[in-house]
Structure 1
Amino acid sequence: MHCQPDYKRKVYIWLKNAQPCLICDEATDSANCVCNVCETELPWLLEHCEVCALPLPMEGLICGQCQKHPPAFKQVIAPWTYSFPIDSLISRFKHQARWPLGQMLARLLAQHLQHRLDNSELTRPECLLPVPMARQRLRERGYNQALMLARWLSTDLNIPYDAQLLLRPHETVAQQALDAKTRKRNLLGAFALAPDAQVQGRHLALVDDVLTTGATAHSLARLLMQAGARQVDVYCLARTPKPGS
């Protein structure tokens, strides 16, 4: 007895159909849903600080801020600068629930990370940790974009993620409108570890959409390092340039 229906006509295979590029809307057969031209013309982050990924004029440098006040994380990995069209794509993903845009960016970030892992430029973390969102803001938005990115990266890189290890028990003012000093004060006591968090001796990677001053990443990395983590890296989609540059 055969369970498969006896159907001999051609079946339309959607996966082999050209999809529109999510940036320019031209047809593309790329699995990433972005055409080669648009991918090439994205604002790729080239010369940058070896620690915080701040755009710099030369390679192999560490910015003055990281030299004076070394952050708790070891390094930031970001493929792009936060400029057009990346800024628009992230904003639409983050604030308008355009999830296909977020998945496209996450897939490209995963390819960027995998290339560096394959070339031994990076060591593979044991777990991905999305930056947590306060409950009230999560209720208002309906989703945590950092958690979505961590899930997609976890699938593409075959690295587990843990959305419960880091907590944000206290509401804070939105960081976007604050300067660097105010951001640091705003985050004092904002984060905590889950009671059963396993951190000792582990290499962990924080996941977020954009790194601006690095205050959030530093606060979380410091919390993890104080709990015994061996190393904390930061994976994000984009790094903002220095104000005024």
Structure 2
Amino acid sequence: MTSFIAACKELLFPAFCLACGRQLSSWRLPLLCSDCGAEVSLVRPPLCSCCGLPLNCGPDHFCGNCLAKTFAFDRARAALLYREPVISLIHSLKFAGQLTGLSTMAALARDTAGYRDLAAADLILPVPLHPQRLRERGFNQALLLARACFPEQSRMINVDLLVRRRATVPQTRLSGKERRRNLAAAFQITRPDSLQGKKILLIDDVFTTGSTVHECAATLRRAGAASIEIFTLARAL
């Protein structure tokens, strides 16, 4: 009966590739055709031991950027490289509100070394949006990704401890220095006692320069967090 219902669903409501729109033979995740699926690039070792930047050779070690400056987090890991079709999938979620791609992105993320390499955490915190941006968008993509990627740890996901108290301009076209200035004092901890000695997993959609997660991590560190690990769906090069 189950297979019959599935066949009827695929006949009446065919699945389409989320990247190019080509019709698929089934609803099996990820919802990408073979061509688009082949274009998805996983983040593979060797990686920077701190920021997770893919390196050319050797064992994991610190990249030049992380040797020159210190991030407030302990380690960052990502699932996919930020290039097509991943860019289109993320943009369709963030800017077009197409939530249908969430399951596909989570399925891709959960099958990567970056996901499997994460340490156990006490709390999972999505990078927060300012209330004004949240009202405009209607959802926080980092929260949706946290729920989709970590369904078994849903009780550990908290949206109240780390908040964005100051509205900031979009980071897309800002330099690294401008991003850091834009984010200064943008985040706040509502209940510092709840963070004392806790291991934190911070979730965001894309790691670009690391400015956003660094500022979040610095805020968490000042409140007493014991360790902070970053997981993002994608990593820009």
Give TM class, smaller chain: 0.7 to 0.9
Match of 1:42 among 20, 40, 43: 40
- Partner SS state of residue 106, structure 1: helix
- Partner SS state of residue 90, structure 2: helix
1:200 maps to what in 2?
196
Match of 1:14 among 6, 10, 14: 6
1:111 maps to what in 2?
111
Counterparts of 1:98 and 1:167, CA distance in 2: 25
> Please, which runs of 5 or more residues in structure 1 have no aligned partner?
1-8
Q: Is the 8 A contact 2:121 2:200 kept in 1?
A: yes
Query: How far off is 1:14 after superposition?
Result: 3.3
CA deviation digits over 1:75-114, x for unaligned, max 9? Answer: 1111111111111111111100111113310232133369
> Please, which runs of 5 or more residues in structure 2 have no aligned partner?
none
Over 3 Å counting, the alpha-carbon distance change for 1:48 and 1:64 in structure 2 is same
Over 3 Å counting, the alpha-carbon distance change for 1:130 and 1:32 in structure 2 is same
1:219 maps to what in 2?
215
The CA RMSD measured in Å over matched residues stands at: 2.6
1:25 maps to what in 2?
23
Counterparts of 2:203 and 2:171, CA distance in 1: 17
Query: How far off is 1:158 after superposition?
Result: 5.5
Over the matched positions of the two proteins, sequence identity in percent amounts to 34
Aligned length: 229
Give the TM-score of the pair, scaled to structure 1.
Answer: 0.83
1:95 maps to what in 2?
95
Query: How far off is 1:57 after superposition?
Result: 1.7
Is 1:66 paired with 2:66? yes
Is 1:187 paired with 2:183? yes
Counterparts of 2:30 and 2:152, CA distance in 1: 12
Is 1:176 paired with 2:175? no
Over 3 Å counting, the alpha-carbon distance change for 1:188 and 1:15 in structure 2 is farther
Over 3 Å counting, the alpha-carbon distance change for 1:140 and 1:10 in structure 2 is closer
Is 1:57 paired with 2:30? no
- Partner SS state of residue 176, structure 1: coil
Query: How far off is 1:153 after superposition?
Result: 2.3
Counterparts of 2:161 and 2:217, CA distance in 1: 13
Counterparts of 1:189 and 1:10, CA distance in 2: 53
2:122 maps to what in 1?
126
Give the TM-score of the pair, scaled to structure 2.
Answer: 0.85
Counterparts of 1:62 and 1:124, CA distance in 2: 23
- Partner SS state of residue 78, structure 1: strand
Counterparts of 2:26 and 2:3, CA distance in 1: 21
Over 3 Å counting, the alpha-carbon distance change for 1:43 and 1:240 in structure 2 is same
Query: How far off is 1:212 after superposition?
Result: 0.7
Match of 1:233 among 222, 226, 229: 229
Is 1:160 paired with 2:159? no
Over 3 Å counting, the alpha-carbon distance change for 1:196 and 1:43 in structure 2 is same
Of Structure 1 and Structure 2, which has the larger fraction of its residues in helix?
A: 2
Q: Is the 8 A contact 2:199 2:228 kept in 1?
A: yes
Counterparts of 2:162 and 2:113, CA distance in 1: 23
Counterparts of 2:114 and 2:180, CA distance in 1: 32
Q: Is the 8 A contact 2:92 2:98 kept in 1?
A: yes
